[in-house]
Each structure stands twice: as C-alpha cells, then as structure tokens.
A and B are shown apart, each in its own frame.
Chain A
C-alpha cells in the first residue's frame, strides 16, 4: 500500500470531487481519523478553487495543479504546485471574524481556514511555480 498520493488536476473545471474521493480511499486504507480527512478535504477545496480562479488570468491554455500528499511517521504532509501567477497566501491579511452578521463578507476566509486548521503552512516561489506545503500532526497512537 502506497504511503503517498500524486494527482494532477486541471485548472479549468477542476475535478475536486474526484480528488476528495481519492483522499477518502487513502485515509480509509491507512486507518486515518475521519476528522483529519475532512480537514484535508476542506484544504484541497480551498486551495484548488483559489488557484483555478486567480492563478491564470489569461485562462486560455490548460494548466495543471500538481498535488502530492504523503505520510511521515508523525504527520500528513501536502505539497501543491502550480505554474500560475505568483501568490503567497501567507501574505493575505486575516479576515475580521468578530464583525456582525450584516457586515460579514466571505473574502479571504478559505486561506484563513487552512492557516488555522493546519499545524504548519509554508509557501515558496521556485522555478516560476507556487509551492504551498501544509501539514497536520497525526494523533498519538492509543
């Protein structure tokens, strides 16, 4: 059984559903906690949506988003690589989560959620590509 997933997703009409289907199988095969699966599913939905919507302003040519997820002894790590415009999500200001219902907007919330729910998030621009690396620790075995 492989301890990693490689997947390439189109930037036009990205098939996030299939990605999360595959994630579900991987988590089940490795006996990983369901709550952790849902956190990673959320992160993939946010990341792929953002890249597909903002990464390619020309939007004429089909590009791919490369997703690599792997297990280490203590954690699950993910690297997402795209060749869209440079975008460092760690520079996005945090939304104000304390304002009232009437004034609440949703912008920036997806990235904020990833930063809050993951244990680590790192960004690098390398070889004209965005590399977003995030991880979450596995619960200690009982």
Chain B
C-alpha cells in the first residue's frame, strides 16, 4: 500500500469543486517593512491546501522574505503541513526566508508533534517575525 500521506495529493484536485463560492480559507497578502506578509484565515486542510499551494511556493522563489501569519487559522492538517514544507523547501533552494507566526496552541501542538517546529522558523506573532527580519 502506498503511503497514506499522499492522500492529499490525490484528493485535492477534486475538492475544489466543493467550494461553491463559500471559502473555508482566505489568503491576504500585504507588504510590511521589507517582507511580504501572507495572512491566512479559516482552515488549512485537504479542502483548502490547494489554494495555498497555488501561490506560496511560487512566492518563495521570487520574494526574499515572507511571513506566513497563521493567527486566524483554526487548524492545520497534514495536507497543510505538506504545502508549508514545499514552500520551505522552495525558500531554502532560492536562498530566501520563510517565517511562520501566530500559531494557536492546537496548531503549535501539531507542529511540535510532527517535528516541523524544529525545521521551520516560528515566531509568536507577526510583529516578532517582522522584527526578526529587520
């Protein structure tokens, strides 16, 4: 049997059809100081991960400093972790920086348990992340 985590790959193409105009996740982009802030709100899971995958890895190739603000995200499932990992890899190969900020306690727990907390730069909130870049 192939690896269960790959489920996300296969399912995401079809899940777009379920949106029907109602968005379970929103993405806002704004420039603050020398960084691009990508602020998400809602759920980052198998239904929504494709939205982030369509923009974040690409931004990481072109933008030297990105803060991914998760303060308004309720939970991140492995589908979301996969996209964040992809973006972090894109950042690393381009010599760019991706900082995460504002993880709710239950989101922080997922990053800890998965080991992502040790391979990604995580700051308590957006201001702290921007300060770390300044």
Contact = CB atoms under 8 A, between A and B. Distances in A.
A38 B78 contact: no
Contacts of A100: 119
B61 interface: no
B7 A42 contact: no
Contacts, number: 125
A2 B17 CA distance: 31
Interface residues of B, number: 43
A15 B11 CA distance: 11
B85 interface: yes
Contact of A53 (B11, B77, B107): B11
Interface string B94-134: 00000000001111011001110011100000000000000
B45 A13 contact: no
Contacts of B24: 17
B15 interface: yes
Contact of B8 (A89, A106, A112, A117): A106
A16 B47 contact: yes
B79 A49 contact: yes
A126 interface: no
A45 B6 contact: no
Given A16-B47, A45-B45, A39 B106 contact: yes
A108 B5 CA distance: 5
Interface size class of A (residues with CB under 8 A): 35 or more
Contacts of B45: 16, 20, 41-42, 45
Interface of A: 12-17, 20, 34-35, 38-39, 41-42, 45-46, 49-50, 52-54, 87, 89, 92, 95, 97-102, 104-113, 116-117
10 contacts: A16-B15, A42-B75, A45-B45, A49-B46, A53-B4, A97-B114, A104-B115, A106-B85, A107-B4, A110-B5
* 6 tightest A-B CB contacts, nearest first: A97-B115, A107-B3, A53-B7, A38-B75, A107-B5, A110-B78
Given A54-B7, A104-B119, 18 more contacts: A13-B14, A15-B18, A41-B43, A41-B45, A42-B75, A42-B76, A45-B79, A50-B7, A53-B4, A98-B118, A104-B85, A105-B5, A107-B6, A108-B3, A109-B82, A110-B5, A110-B77, A116-B113
